[in-house]
Structure 1
């Protein structure tokens, strides 16, 4: 298991050639239990933290990448002193959330994914890592829902900055 990349003189030479914003290609060499994915880029080990793997919600890096997979990523920073190179896959992808704005007011049916004291989260896309929106308790009324129940809602509002989707029953 790789806990901290070890660098030799060759790695230092490679590090000095890297620049923020540069697009690199590498191979996933390890997916750590704490959410970091390690990538070999030209003999140097770089890393991708969970928030930089995808615009979509994920539970674990293995939802997006696998060991041995070739990836293309953008370099976020090159810290020669600490010998760290954070990468981003999502920097090379369009954020799909603004496209969902076109669906405001549309009815969608999705499963309840999580219950919280102030409402229920409902997946509004047909994929396992699809976006979820919040249906507040005030919108649920007397309905009692459980995780897994299918609920029909309308997309009321999308806050791209805070990455939040509000749902309504639209009664």
Structure 2
């Protein structure tokens, strides 16, 4: 524990002055498994960490990331949205993705329930299959929607890598979830 406002009054005062949604600029100083440190332009230095700003992995990008390096590199200038003051670590928790348009919402704007899409099966799970319908957007085809006749397991109907025709059955903007059916899309025998 770093000790609160008494030991680092300048840092504490700076962090207390920040507001949710404010945009902070800085330079990426370190990339760790758990996130990215940012030295903020306007803030004081951190007594322990390589930067007062910190971006967790999920807040880096709307995409599911395999590697952080694809998004940022050390020395890069970034502008990120302030989320919260982490009083335990004396950090400004930041979001890089909040400054970028959410591809899911853009997809939802141009897609309607009942629309036919073509996609590629990305992975099978016990309750169905995930299908990527466009760059960065995947939907779930539930087990009961995978084939016109019931199947025991997703692999009875599809394999990862298969190209499939699907129909949009639900678009949940709040949870950023897309539900698809292959059963309704299979009238054309694909």
| Shorter-chain TM-score range | 0.7 to 0.9
Q: Which residue of 1 aligns with 2:143?
A: 137
Q: Higher Cα Rg: structure 1 or 2?
A: 2
Tell me how far 1:150 sits from its aligned partner: 1.6
CA RMSD of aligned residues (A): 2.6
Q: Which residue of 2 aligns with 1:121?
A: 130
Tell me how far 1:116 sits from its aligned partner: 0.3
Question: Which 5+ residue runs of structure 1 have no aligned equivalent?
Answer: 6-10
TM-score (normalised: structure 2)? 0.72
4+ runs deviating over 3 angstroms? 79-82
Name which of 10, 13, 23 aligns with 1:13: 10
Structure 1 Cα separation of the partners of residues 81 and 9 of structure 2: 19
Structure 2 Cα separation of the partners of residues 118 and 79 of structure 1: 37
Structure 2 Cα separation of the partners of residues 158 and 56 of structure 1: 18
Aligned residue pairs, count? 160
8 Å CA contact 1:12, 1:80 repeated in 2:
no
8 Å CA contact 1:38, 1:48 repeated in 2:
yes
Question: Which 5+ residue runs of structure 2 have no aligned equivalent?
Answer: 3-7, 186-190
Residues 62/75 of structure 1: CA separation in 2 closer, same or farther (3 Å cut): same
Q: Secondary structure at the match of 1:138?
A: helix
8 Å CA contact 1:57, 1:131 repeated in 2:
no
TM-score (normalised: structure 1)? 0.79
